[in-house]
Structure 1
Amino acid sequence: MRMKRNVQPGSGMRRYLSLLSFSAKPHDNRPVSSPEFPLPQEIVDAIVDQLEDDQASLAVAGLISRHWYQPTRERLFRHIKLGDRQPQSRCRLLLQLLQQGPSLASYMKELTLVEDPAVYSHSAHESWLQLSSYTVKLLPLLTSVTHLRIMCHYRLNWSILPTTLQAELYDMMARPSTTHLSLSKVHEINFTRIAQCRNLENLSLRRVSGPPPSPTGIDVNNFSTLTQKLTGNQGLRFLGVEDCEDAVQALLAYARHSGTPFQPAVLEVGTGASEAMASALKSLFSFCGPTIESYTIRQPFHDRLSPFVFEFGQLPRLNRFTVSLHAESFHHSFTVLLDQLSNLAESGTTWPFAIFTLELNIERRSVGRDISRVVDYQAKANSQVWERLDSILSSPAFPNLAQVAVFFGVVNSTVSELAWTTAQGRVIRKMPALSRRGLLVLRISRRPPAS
């Protein structure tokens, strides 16, 4: 049983809750009071549990009475997202709430700072973060954050942020409590500071870059200015990288210089055709390939699959292998994939992975208005690819193979359930060897157009 406190939200709390969703606005500023016949607390808790992902309903429920306020605020405040709308107002109100009730910070586990082009300009030299005087005061109060994300839809130049804000963000990254860090489209950031964060268990770096070369020839990632006892992220388990050769090379250089282990067990790579990224990945595989147990190749929407991401020769402990493709470039990407798997099958050696997963993402923007042609295109016109995949993975080169999973992720689908079921049957019939051994799992996930 949870410990309950007789707490009612003040006007500042009600204003902040109303900002969580435009549809979750309290009626006027009337005081919250207990209903005449309150529900038992066990029923309230059960209802709140069912509203786990419904922020608008949670915000409204938290305004009903003290019986609802206490259990809802843990869920409402677990993930703080700033920047998508009214960032100044939300930062100011959140700062006021934490100054009035510091214990509220214990519920705040995830912080996401976003740059939304729908709200702000597309200039890399403008950011609400550089203009907000509240953010730098807010960050030190968020003492329980475990997940920090800085996500930009366009790009953000780190150098434009006030130095005080940069320092607070670096400090948050290095806190013992911060175990997950995600950066997307953040540029001119010092990756050596990130490499020193020994607390990190999960690190995701997507389309990020370091500072430009110094005109004085001084490397901002020079380790000589750091403390003598160098430490790195020794507990890192997951590493996700995409178009971030600066980051990869800096992380590896720091690991070599400091002598600390850099041994992620799970690696996710976003593909691309950059020669610099190919070189960085080659170094990454060489340095930590022996520790990688799960490897995912994820194809960004506009990029083609590149052969250099198939460095299986340096992944002796690989157990799970996943490839995620887009239907838009299905023919090219699938050809590359099958060629690389065929090379493995004909190499004269055996490969350890037990689970192979192929994800095919199909969206209306990939195929135009008539998404129904995907059924025929994928399952019928290109049926030979399924036959070839079946033949390759049935090779003695993969003796540990226990499952081959094929997932179709269909977004904005106007195709009937019957049509997709028919397509599913066609694919299964084209892969008889794996089907007979009971290894094949085929699933279609459909998300219809929003009404």
Structure 2
Amino acid sequence: MPSIPSCGRASSEGLPQEMVDVVIDHVASDTRALKRLSRVCRAWYPRTRRHLFQEIVFHPGRSDQYFAGLGDLIEKNALLKQCVERLGVEFQWDADPGWLDNTFIISLLPLLTSLKNVSIHGPHLLYVKWPTLQPAVQIAFHNLFAQPHVVSLTLHRVFDIDIAAFSQYHHLEELTLRNVRLTEGRPSQSGACFPLQTTFQLDHPTGSLRSLSITDSVVFLAEALFVCTASSGATFNFRNLTQLDLRLQEFDKDFPSTCASLIKACGPSLETYKTSFRRGPLNHASVSSALQLRRFPHLASFSLVVDNSSHVGLNGCEIIRSILVPELDLLPGSGSQSFINSIHLNINTLDIGKVGVTDKKDLYGFCSEEVWSRLDEILARPEFPFLRELSILFDVCMEELGRQDLVDVKELVLARMPNLQEKGIVTVSTSETTLGMY
């Protein structure tokens, strides 16, 4: 990058603001460059300040002086306060979570009045237990979550957290839960700060939640559904969802019933749906509960990822054959039209035949099946007038395959889908997975 001082002050001030913004945006990820650009002239300062302070991250490596200085800076600069839109809190496996019990942090949180996105990440491969945080810290963060300007919340590897408070966060538009665990017992029994009644009251659903992403947090989700539909004190609900990302990475006996309840709540409004099954073991009840596509009358985009690396239960081929295609055959129902415009299928073939290896014979056999002709016949119907894309991706291990095999499996599938080929809708591709990953 050319030396910043080479830009003269006079010429810099004469540049159109649009050009200044383009230059600054180009180095937005380079903190050092942004700091240097902020000193070129007054016109360069606001844009660089916005990038420098748009996201702040708390982690145990930060000193008290950092938090004190940041709080003082934000408190005295109203324009700077408007720049902070994202907050990340990152725990580390070798650091006591008590580092958050810091008066500078607690006093800083209420100053973040323009904050939109909050994410809390437990230690890598471990977790943080919410009750281990001091009460003052818990209250400070719950107060932050409850602010109407916070519209996106991510929790990752957070255990023993109470759902009761979350049932009040009706202003959230995006909620992401990755491996989140609940405290034991019903929220009404755990001394939650929001007393919830047990009478049903959701005849007129409220709430702003539009996007929900869940990974291995089935119990939390089940309890949230219970609280938010069985309590007059709950203002949070799932009934206006338009985007749902549902990922099951471990077997959970409660998944089918919880999934059915969620789909019943959000099905009428859902437009984008992605579901992933990884590791397993996968059973018919779990998978079929998540693939009730007929429950989504306004569904426009659907993605399915199957990667059963446990090699127990259903594999991707069986799911396509026995669950997905029959479900698509039932769409849209009642003589109406489906709004689906894109379908994405990602199937890991390591669970076909031999354990841990893409078996050549079995893969060729699957790609030659009539199920692809059936899928072609279904999706070519007049009931799918908006379909513009069907993409099929096979993850393969090359141990028993050659380059020509990759070409052959694509052609085998495409040969059975002449209608969608003629419309230019279908694509088949492969990606290579190394055996060492499993």
For the aligned pair, the TM-score class normalised by the smaller chain equals: 0.7 to 0.9
Q: 1:186 aligns with which of 146, 158, 166?
A: 158
Provide the alpha-carbon RMSD of the alignment: 4.5
Structure 1 CA distance for aligned equivalents of residues 49 and 361 of structure 2: 49
Preserved CA contact (<8 Å) 1:157 1:188: yes
Which deviates more, 135-144 or 375-384?
375-384
Preserved CA contact (<8 Å) 1:48 1:72: yes
The answer for the alignment partner of 2:315 in structure 1 is 332
Cα distance, 1:74 vs. partner?
0.8
Structure 2 CA distance for aligned equivalents of residues 102 and 226 of structure 1: 40
- Secondary structure of the corresponding residue to residue 134 of structure 1: helix
From the superposition, tell whether residues 360 and 52 of structure 1 become closer, same or farther in structure 2 (CA, over 3 Å): farther
Deviations 1:109-134 (A, max 9, x none): 111212244xx35xxxx325534443
The answer for the alignment partner of 1:114 in structure 2 is 90
The answer for the alignment partner of 1:150 in structure 2 is 120
The answer for the alignment partner of 1:20 in structure 2 is none
Structure 1 runs not aligned, ≥5 long: 1-31, 368-372, 447-451
Cα distance, 1:41 vs. partner?
3.6
Structure 2 runs not aligned, ≥5 long: 352-356, 433-438
- Secondary structure of the corresponding residue to residue 171 of structure 1: helix
Cα distance, 1:408 vs. partner?
5.0
Letter of the structure 2 residue corresponding to residue 83 of structure 1: H
Structure 1 CA distance for aligned equivalents of residues 382 and 60 of structure 2: 47
Structure 2 CA distance for aligned equivalents of residues 303 and 79 of structure 1: 39
- Secondary structure of the corresponding residue to residue 111 of structure 1: strand
TM-score (norm. length: structure 1): 0.72
From the superposition, tell whether residues 265 and 443 of structure 1 become closer, same or farther in structure 2 (CA, over 3 Å): same
From the superposition, tell whether residues 87 and 361 of structure 1 become closer, same or farther in structure 2 (CA, over 3 Å): farther
Cα distance, 1:438 vs. partner?
2.5
Structure 1 CA distance for aligned equivalents of residues 410 and 10 of structure 2: 53
From the superposition, tell whether residues 298 and 345 of structure 1 become closer, same or farther in structure 2 (CA, over 3 Å): closer
Cα distance, 1:274 vs. partner?
0.3
Which deviates more, 428-437 or 269-278?
428-437
From the superposition, tell whether residues 180 and 344 of structure 1 become closer, same or farther in structure 2 (CA, over 3 Å): same
From the superposition, tell whether residues 113 and 443 of structure 1 become closer, same or farther in structure 2 (CA, over 3 Å): farther
Which deviates more, 35-44 or 188-197?
35-44
Preserved CA contact (<8 Å) 1:149 1:181: yes
Structure 2 CA distance for aligned equivalents of residues 84 and 408 of structure 1: 41
Structure 2 CA distance for aligned equivalents of residues 336 and 398 of structure 1: 25
Cα distance, 1:322 vs. partner?
1.4
Q: 1:218 aligns with which of 161, 178, 189?
A: 189
Counterpart check, 1:47 vs 2:23: yes
TM-score (norm. length: structure 2): 0.73
Residue pairs, 1:177-326, within 5 angstroms: 177-213=149-185, 218-220=189-191, 224=195, 234-244=207-217, 245-258=219-232, 262-263=238-239, 264-271=241-248, 272-300=250-278, 306-307=286-287, 308-326=289-307
Structure 2 CA distance for aligned equivalents of residues 85 and 262 of structure 1: 37
Preserved CA contact (<8 Å) 2:164 2:196: no
Number of residue equivalences? 398
The answer for the alignment partner of 2:105 in structure 1 is 135
Deviations 1:358-378 (A, max 9, x none): 25388xxx99xxxxx989899
- The structure 1 segments of at least 4 consecutive aligned residues displaced by more than 6 Å after TM superposition are 373-379, 417-426, 443-446
